[in-house]
Amino acid sequence: NGHSKPKAKKSGGRRVVVLDPGHGGIDTGAIGRNGSKEKHVVLAIAKNVRSILRNHGIDARLTRSGDTFIPLYDRVEIAHKHGADLFMSIHAD
C-alpha cells in the first residue's frame, strides 16, 4: 500500500494520540447556515481535545495546526511517524 510502518513502541512509553482535524486550506468541508466552515470548527475542537488529553498525561498531536490542506495519505504518514496508538479524524458535517 506504500505507507510507512508505524514506529515501534517502547514498553512503558506514553500513549500517543494523533488528532486529525478534517479538511483545511482549499477544502472547507461543510458550510453551516451562518457561514461557519467545517475546517475551522474541527480545528478548534481538535485543539481543545489535545489540551484535555495533554492535561491527562497523553502525548496528543495534530495532523495540522493551521488552515492548511494535507492529503489523506500524508495524514496517515504523520500518525505513523509519531507512533500513534490512536488516530482520530474529526469532522462536523
Give average pLDDT by consecutive 10-residue segment, the chain, 93 residues: 66 88 98 98 99 98 98 97 98 94
Instruction: Quickly list DSSP for 14-72.
Output: PPEEEEEE--BTTB---B-TTS-BHHHHHHHHHHHHHHHHHHTT-EEEES-SSS----H
For the whole prediction, is pTM greater than 0.85? Answer: yes
Residue 65's closest CA among 44, 81, 82?
44
Please report the domains of the chain, with CATH numbers, ordered by start residue: 14-88 (3.40.630.40)
